[in-house]
Amino acid sequence: MTTSSAASLTPFSELKARIDQRQARVAVIGLGYVGLPLALLYTEQGFPVTGFDVDAHKVSTLVQGGSYIFRIPATEIQAAKARRFSATADYSQLREMDAIIICVPTPLDAYHEPDLSYITGTAKAIAPHLRAGHLVVLESTTYPGTTEEVLIPILEQGNLHRLKASRSGATTEAGFFVAFSPEREDPGNQTVARRDIPKVVGGLDEKASQLAAALYGSIFNRVVPVSSPAAAEMTKLLENIYRCVNIALVNELKLLSLRMGLDIWEIVEAAATKPFGFQPFYPGPGLGGHCIPVDPFYLSWKAKEWDFRTRFIELAGEINISMPYHVLESVAKALNQQKKALNGAKVLVLGVAYKKDIDDLRESPSLVIIELLQKEGAQVSYNDPYFPTVGRGRKYDLQMKCAPLDNLGQYDCVLIVTDHSHYDYARIVREAQLVVDTRNATRGIQSPKIVRC
Ligand SMILES: NC(=O)c1ccc[n+]([C@@H]2O[C@H](COP(=O)([O-])OP(=O)(O)OC[C@H]3O[C@@H](n4cnc5c(N)ncnc54)[C@H](O)[C@@H]3O)[C@@H](O)[C@H]2O)c1
């Protein structure tokens, strides 16, 4: 490089060139269900990637070439390591990075309000290592305004060089770039390749947007730019609220259909044949996962600042939260039909993951249902091929071991909560005394032992 061309390089053009040449060093902070697959995608495209996590077990597993996520085999981690992927808990390594992508949790606290402590903790840990030309992207789902009102002030106040985030109209070049880009993963979905999911990106200014679009354009086939970080934050919430509200709608219609002697699944399937204007949503035992039961409440909390009540979100939450109670009642009623009490009944819960074929327990309705059954005196066991044990989480403390799927006749009731593909439902119905099915997993099987709820 000549002296004159080096002098003409700005932090923006330098980073853009490094991204375009796949030489930008990518840091992914938070190596969970979102961060680890993202880190691997960048590695596959030839970027040198360093993953950061505060969980020492995760870091050492990756360092040793292992995996802790069921659908990511250890061989993938080993291949990534051969292509310059590493993992660490040492934030000082951030100085050597070019782009920093934050994928830490955004749960609700005990009062159902946003818990941003992981984002603020991460921002405080990044700030001392920030340098001019860094691109920082937040991916964690959160309310509109978080990037500008929470993340950027911490980064600006905590960095050692008094750097400012690059904003439209700013006169100085020596800042850092910030964007928000929501994660859109659908765990367990085998039909859409990750790189075919369009990536929404909202930068704080045009330069940040261009850099973030270039960074994500290297691993996703389509980038969708929006006008600001807040617009990108709101886009993700709209997507999840749309699901939450529609699932609540179909759950409510299920309760009515049951009362009217109609089969809601048959009705949804029939309606889904309409080639326009209808998208099917399916009823279930309650919402699960890190996103749908949690994210809408980030917006209802923020809305209060604007004297606004998000009534659809609250109503949907009310209906969805009541579904595990409906399951409890259905089990009690089904046992009652057999002249048995729930108190003392042996119940086998099939599936603790929050949805089929995945190894994720977070916010799973199964956990609530197990606790509700136990409170009524039932002797509860569970089976789930993805979980040999269920210990303690933020909201539960079960300390249970996966029961084998044999001798099903010993249970007064087998309760299907998660419809894993692995299960042989015909055999389950044949061997069980009573099957309560919350997912229509036994569709096509005729038996007086089945109660669909
Ligand atoms: N899982 C999904 O399917 C999904 C989909 C879309 C969006 N999201 C959003 O993505 C974000 C991350 O979700 P996830 O499912 O990957 O969570 P996760 O719990 O699986 O992973 C988060 C990781 O961050 C680590 N972490 C926490 N604080 C840290 C810190 N200060 N520094 C470094 N690491 C830290 C944790 O140890 C953990 O490994 C959340 O905001 C979530 O709402 C998740």
Q: What is the pTM of this model?
A: 0.93
Atom 36 of ligand 1, nearest CA residue:
30
Laid out side by side, the sheet with 379-383 consists of 379-383, 346-350, 413-416, 435-437, 450-452
Question: Tokens at residue 320, please?
Answer: 């969805």
Mean pLDDT confidence for 93-102: 97
Select from 183, 240, 241 the residue to mutate for testing ligand 1; criterion: most ligand atoms less than 8 Å from CB. Answer: 183
- Output the CA 96–ligand 1 centroid distance in Å: 23
* Ligand 1 in reach of 418 Cβ (< 6 A): no
**Confidence (pLDDT) at 190:** 83
Instruction: Give the nearest ligand 1 atom to 142 CA.
Output: 41
Structure confidence at residue 140 as a pLDDT band (50, 70, 90): very high
Alpha-carbon gap, residue 167 to 173, rounded angstroms: 10
Q: Is the pLDDT of residue 7 over 60?
A: no
Grouping H, G, I as helix, E, B as strand and the rest as coil, residue 208 is helix
**Confidence (pLDDT) at 8:** 65
* Ligand 1 in reach of 55 Cβ (< 6 A): yes
List, by residue number, the catalytic residues: 291
Atom 18 of ligand 1, nearest CA residue:
32
**Confidence (pLDDT) at 103:** 98
Strand blocks (E) in 21-98: 26-29, 49-52, 85-88
Structure confidence at residue 173 as a pLDDT band (50, 70, 90): low
Instruction: Give the nearest ligand 1 atom to 186 CA.
Output: 3
**Confidence (pLDDT) at 186:** 83
Q: Is the pLDDT of residue 2 over 50?
A: no
Report how far Cα 105 is from the mean position of its chain's Cα atoms.
Answer: 9
Digit-coded pLDDT (tens) for 273-302: 999 999 999 999 999 888 888 999 999 999
Digit-coded pLDDT (tens) for 382-430: 999 999 999 988 778 899 999 999 999 999 999 999 999 999 999 999 9
Q: Is the pLDDT of residue 1 over 50?
A: no
- Output the CA 35–ligand 1 centroid distance in Å: 7
Residue matched to tokens 């197990």: 370
DSSP 8-class letter at 195 = G
Instruction: Give the nearest ligand 1 atom to 294 CA.
Output: 43
* Ligand 1 in reach of 30 Cβ (< 6 A): yes
314's enclosing H/E stretch is: helix 311-337
